[in-house]
Chain A
Amino acid sequence: MASRVIELMVNAEPRELLAPPGTTLLAALREGLGLTAAKRGCAQGTCGTCTVVLDGVPVFACLIAVETIQGASVDTLEGVSGPDGELDEVQAAFLEGFATQCGFCTSGMIMVAEALLAENPDPSHEDIVRAISGNVCRCTGYALIIAAIRAAAARRAAAAAVA
């Protein structure tokens, strides 16, 4: 079958691409749109490194045939930082808290954290563990990742209190 033109809102901007049948959302982002933050790890939904936010909820981009989500809204790590590249609270907490080792899981971890904090601005340790339970850090840096997500929540709460 012929390729389809796929239209998506990617990081709040309308984008379109031509996708052969069965193209994953992950491949569409990486190869179609040049957005390479989401990584291809296991390609079967068990490692979490391809996590993006689809219509407000975290999903594994490797498990989605992109033609099945025509018109959807997709948020990736590229859309997290500010317009001049300034890091958001989650990114800053990851950087300052040494929550990145090899970095391969980081994009997925941050997108899961962004979705969690959007829904629950003050997550408990248990809430964070549950949220990242689908994301593997093969460096086993979980303690610092969990601490960074807690720190990001505190930064956001402090910023909201000032504003």
Chain B
Amino acid sequence: MSLTVELPTSADDAVGLLADGGLVMAGGTVVMPLLNTSAHDVATLVSLRGAGLSGIKMAGAVAELGAATTLAQVGRDERLALLGPVIESIGSPPLRNLATVAGNLFVPSGDLAVALLALDADVEVAGPGGRERMSVAAVLGGGLAPGCVVTGVRFTVPAAGEFVYTKAMRRRMNSGSIVTVAAVLGYTDGVVTSARVALGGAWSRPRRSAAAEAELIGAPLSRERAERAGAAAASAADPPTDAYASAWYRRRVLPIHVRRALIGE
């Protein structure tokens, strides 16, 4: 099939081009393998590389990441040091020089997506009807309406120590996820009063575990509470099987990694 590659210079330009259909490509780390190695039926690619959607802005504690900001740019930004371990856990340096923030929301097991869920990020979307903000959970759960494109994500950087992250991998570097855990806990007088526990590898897409969160709220964080949260997460999970791990294995190790993420041991 003959291919067209569109090179919009703005988000609105991209939305206009998508009115006739087309596949959005940002860093190319997902789309190009498809084109290179499969009998695809892609007729139009809409590249976001030149669409002015790259960059990181801070307004107080609120971080705004342009959709086409590369993972390497995020990893280098000292204002986003909390995401350093997340970025380092994804792919390899040359991949991270291409892969983008928004692209990570559309890969099967995006680890940055797991972190953004825990951070309660919202996603700015441009579409034929204008701009809107969606929760990252909504984008991960249901995707975007046809003709829409992510222009950025926004979240409030939590206080130091409130965000935790761990990713179980097949190798120490450059491996897909077995399970990924990201969490933000809020405390009042030492008691956990809010909890967002996001999991990768527990379902086919990143999701928060309400069962794990319920086990944490209302008490000080302890090993026992962390183990209960892990057990609850595993009971509620429906893990996928893929080349990195079986569903059985993921369910088996999930409680340990939830506990390690929460209490560090």
> A9: CB under 8 A from chain B?
no
Q: Is B36 an interface residue (CB 8 A)?
A: yes
Interface size on B, as a range, is 20 to 34
CB of B1, distance to nearest CB on chain A (Å): 10
Residues of A within 8 A of B98 (CB): 45, 59-60, 63-64
Cβ contacts B33-52/A at 8 Å (1 or 0 each): 10111000000010101100
Pair A62/B173 contact, Cβ less than 8 Å:
no
Asked whether A124 is an interface residue with its Cβ less than 8 Å from the other chain, the reply is no
Partner of A68, one of B7, B29, B36: B7
Task: Count residues of A near B (Cβ-Cβ below 8 Å).
Answer: 30
Taken residue by residue from 157 to 186, chain B's Cβ proximity to chain A (1 for < 8 Å, 0 otherwise) reads as 000000000000000011000000000000
User: Beta-carbon contacts of B12-44 to A below 8 Å, as 1s and 0s?
Assistant: 000000000000010111001101110000000
What residues of chain A have their CB less than 8 Å away from a CB belonging to chain B?
1, 20-22, 24, 43-45, 48, 51, 54, 57-60, 62-65, 67-70, 112, 129-131, 133-135
| Extra A-B contacts (17), CB below 8 Å, given A22-B5, A130-B93 | A21-B45, A22-B3, A22-B35, A45-B29, A48-B94, A57-B72, A58-B94, A60-B98, A63-B27, A63-B32, A65-B25, A67-B7, A68-B25, A133-B92, A133-B173, A134-B93, A135-B94
Binding site for A on B (CB under 8 A): 2-5, 7, 25, 27-29, 32-33, 35-37, 45, 47, 49-50, 72, 88, 91-95, 97-98, 173-174
